[in-house]
Structure 1
Amino acid sequence: MSEITVRHLGEDEWKDYRAVRLEALNESPEAFVATAAEEQAFDEARWRARMQRSARLIAERDGAAVGVLSVGTAPSDEEGRAGELFGLWVKPELRGSGVATKLVKNGAALARQRGQSQLYYWVGTENGRAVAFASGMGFRPTDQRRPMGVQSEEDGEEEIAMVLPLGDDRRVIGGR
């Protein structure tokens, strides 16, 4: 198997992000709040604005996108010291092969470079594989919960915020 590389997309690479994002929405519609039809209708200006709002990382093998991850600032952190991972997706045939690990490690490195002291990742409480993955990456559960933002088979399913301390600061910002 060829090596997996991860790169940070610039604003002018919005078409690359759009392509992999739409693939993710089409392949795993249950994993996202948005739908492929909604985002397919976005114009160039909207895609460029998204590229400016958060960092978009893409995993590639032989020049083809095989995964994607977004890194932003945690919405409840007014000081910008906490980052947030979201929109993680890997092609089904490569799940469990280390692509997600490479994306998350690169996302954590980017957050560290930005001066963020911790990274949040919301995971479905019923998604044992995702919780185990995040725990294995060093994320620890917090007491923060919220209703799932995506369609679920079971009413009442919720997400848990997991946090990864970055650097020497092991405190959790905002009492999380």
Structure 2
Amino acid sequence: MSDITVRTLGVEEWDQYRTMRLRALAESPEAFVATHADEEAEAEDFWRARMQRSTRLLAEREEEALGIASVGALGEDEPHIAQLFGLWVRPEARGSGVAAALVRSGARVAAEQGRSHLYYWVGTDNGRAVAFASSFGFRPTGNRRPMRVVSEDDGEEEVAMTLPLGGDRGGIANL
């Protein structure tokens, strides 16, 4: 099996991002705030604008798209923090290292942007996601918010897990 590569998509590759995003929305609608129907109806200018708001990462093996993730600003009041979001891997590629490659690349992108920390929001009841993030050195913060996706369990929360991108821990060198 060949290696997984992760590359940053440029604005002109909006259609590749759109294709993967729509696949993600169709396959895992419960994991996203947006719906497949809404985003499928969007025009090219919507997708081009979206490409400029955050860094879009595409994981591939032998030029076959396997997964996506995005890295963007946490907010104007915290310019030193980036967040990793929209992480999705095709079901047949899960467990093969694609998600790990996307997280590592996301951390590198954030560090290259001069960010000191990378946030990754996970459901507080999603032990598998918490363990996955922890395996990279992400640690829970006190920052919580209501789940942004539709949930059967009202009151479900997400916790921001943070990864330092430098300093004593070695940050990105370990990723």
Q: Residues of 1 paired with 2:145 and 2:78: CA distance?
A: 22
Q: CA deviation at 1:96?
A: 1.9
Q: Residues of 2 paired with 1:94 and 1:44: CA distance?
A: 28
Which residue of structure 1 aligns with residue 48 of structure 2?
A: 48
Q: Residues of 2 paired with 1:92 and 1:66: CA distance?
A: 9
Overall identity of the aligned pairs, in %: 65
Q: CA deviation at 1:2?
A: 2.9
Q: Report the RMSD for the aligned CA atoms in angstroms.
A: 1.3
The 3-state SS of whatever aligns with 2:88 is: strand
The 3-state SS of whatever aligns with 1:131 is: helix
| Unaligned 5+ runs, structure 1 | 171-176
Q: CA deviation at 1:79?
A: 5.2
Q: Residues of 1 paired with 2:131 and 2:94: CA distance?
A: 14
Do 1:117 and 1:169's aligned partners in 2 also have CA atoms closer than 8 Å?
A: no
The structure 1 segments of at least 4 consecutive aligned residues displaced by more than 3 Å after TM superposition are: none
Which residue of structure 1 aligns with residue 6 of structure 2?
A: 6
Give the stretch that moved more between structures: 77-86 or 104-113: 77-86
Give the stretch that moved more between structures: 110-119 or 149-158: 149-158
Distance 1:110 1:104, change over 3 A: same
| One-letter code aligned to 2:20 | V
- What is the TM-score of this pair, normalised by structure 1? 0.92
Count of equivalent residues: 169
Whether 2:71 is the aligned partner of 1:85: answer no
| One-letter code aligned to 2:136 | M
Q: CA deviation at 1:169?
A: 7.7
